[in-house]
Amino acid sequence: MNWWCSATGRNWSWEWSPYLGAWILFLLLGVSMLLAWRKDRDFPLRRKFSAVIGLIILLIATDWPLATLGAGYLVSVQMARQVLVVFIAIPLLLYGAPPVVGRWLAAGQRRRRAFATITRPLVAVIVANAILIATMSPYFADRLISSQWGSFALDIAWIVAGFIIWFPLQPPTPLTPRLVGPFAMVYLIIQSIIPLPVAFFMTWAEYPLFSVFELAPRVFDSFDAVQDQQLGAAIFQVVGGLIIWAQIAFRFLHWAVERERSDLEEFEPHEETVPA
Amino acid sequence: MALLFFGYTSCPDICPVHLGILSAAFDDLRLDGGRPDVAFVGVDTARDTPQRLRSYLDGFDPEFVGLTATPSAIDEALGQLDMPSVVIDPEGKGTDYIVGHPSQILVFTPDNLCHITYPFGTRQQAWEEDLPRLENQIWPSDR
């Protein structure tokens, strides 16, 4: 049993081969959450449910078969894993993070300062996108993906980038979001635009960009490395984009409803002004 | 120009990847002298029948040519090309075996000589850059 996924150069097999590290991560996070929830018994059930789904998605993204296919055979699956981790699992985990995490982050002065720095929108945009673009570059991806430690570092980098992206919008309770309403929408729009040139380059590249995937044994005979790369770019742009834009739409509707409600409250006649 | 590769149709990794990359490069390339000939020698003589070679190569490019011969003739040809012999591992165990074979592709330029070989790991971009040069009898001296 391998402890983390990596490119092996072996022929693809549908034989179940789980990764020890992925299951340890799943169990560690799961048990920690259960213990933390016991301390905050009134933590809403929908948030707990969100964390469980996030955790399951994280396991799906880091274990066989997605991790095996993504790390060693198909860049399209690697992109799908990235979308699953960064844009689905992490926001769900943050939404369902036990309040003890939020209290811990807010407790120490140094921690508070670090958290305040990393949740500055400009810092979050620059750092998260630098990480994502680096992990998508052939220079780093080809080198890291060939070893289990390298592939582990790549996956951890995605998790870190995911947290940095989503912290300003939905930090663990009882912390309050730094960005709400239109600011949150603008932030998400910027986050959706910055990685586009990379995806564009993947779509229109004449040759396969990643040697690991080009030289990997083929999983499907009629699906070559360039087609795989184009599908990967499409998954990143379309699926990743859809998730972000769904968030933007949801936040816009929420903000519009809130505004309407506050406007109504403002214009509601008070008892003393009602004419006799 | 002709490209020569010794492989086998049941190969799980090197042969399909090499041939797939070559086929993708040929799809993009327009050479003045026309497409180079590609000869794939099936070294697994027990399984690489002419019919199987044909259907295997059709999966990559119908113009790729399949060749086979007796094991001794294949080893003699490999010897003449300064390449290691074919190894069947384990020998005499039905059809459950793997075949050790040279993984490089030999390129015979228009002067009918092989000045350069391409190891496994040669990427599509390298083929597309090198084949036009080789057609014009330009090859790097250090390869």
Kindly state whether A220 is in contact with chain B, defined as any CB-CB distance less than 8 angstroms. Answer: no
Q: Is this prediction's pTM over 0.95?
A: no
Nearest CA in chain A to B129: A207
- The verdict on residue B20 lying in a domain is yes
Cβ neighbours of A225 in B, within 8 Å: 20-21, 24, 124
Distance CA B121, CA B117 (A): 12
Confirm or reject contact between A260 and chain B (CB < 8 A): no
Q: How far apart are CA A242 and CA A248, in angstroms?
A: 10
Cβ burial B4-34 (10 Å sphere, 16+ → b, else e): bbbbbbbbebbbbbbbbbbbbbbeeeeeeee
Count: domains in chain B: 1
- Provide the phi-psi class of B120: left if phi over 0, else alpha when psi is between -120 and 50, else beta: beta
pLDDT at B70 over 90: yes
Greater confidence (A187 vs B139) lies with A187
Does B141 reside within a domain? no
Of A217, A221, A225, which has the smallest distance from its Cβ to B12's Cβ? Answer: A217
pLDDT at A17 over 50: yes
Distance between A1 CA and the closest CA of chain B, angstroms: 21
What was the pLDDT predicted at B94? Answer: 72
B129 in a structural domain: yes
Say which of A9, A10, A224 has its CB closest to residue B20. Answer: A224
Residue B142 lies in a domain: no
* pLDDT tens per residue across span A102-156: 999 888 899 989 999 999 999 999 999 999 999 999 999 999 999 999 999 999 9
User: With bands split at pLDDT 50, 70 and 90, how would you rate the model's confidence at B92?
Assistant: low
Q: Check pLDDT > 50 for residue A276.
A: no
Q: Is B85 helix (H, G, I), strand (E, B) or coil?
A: coil
What integer is the mean pLDDT of A158-174? 94
Please report, for the domain that includes residue B43, its CATH number. 3.40.30.10
**pLDDT score at B143:** 47
- pLDDT average, residue stretch A236-243: 93
Minimum distance, in Å, between the CA of residue B23 and any CA atom of chain A: 10
How confident is the model at residue B83, as a pLDDT?
95
Domain boundaries, chain A: 20-265
Cβ distance B24 to A225 less than 8 Å, yes or no, reads yes
Q: Give the ipTM of the model, two decimals please.
A: 0.87
- Residue A17 structure tokens: 């081969």
**CB-facing half-sphere around the CA of A143: CA atoms within 13 A:** 6
Residue B140 lies in a domain: no
Query: The tokens of A176 are what?
Result: 């309050």
**Count of residues making up chain B:** 143
Give A230's contacts (C-beta < 8 A, 6+ positions apart): A202, A203
Query: Which domain covers residue B42, as residue numbers?
Result: 2-135
pLDDT at A271: 58
Is the Cβ–Cβ distance between A166 and A24 less than 8 Å? no
The arithmetic mean of pLDDT across residues B99-108, rounded, is 95
User: Rounded to an integer, what distance in angstroms lies between the CA atom of residue B52 and that of residue B104?
Assistant: 22
pLDDT, mean of residues B28-48: 93
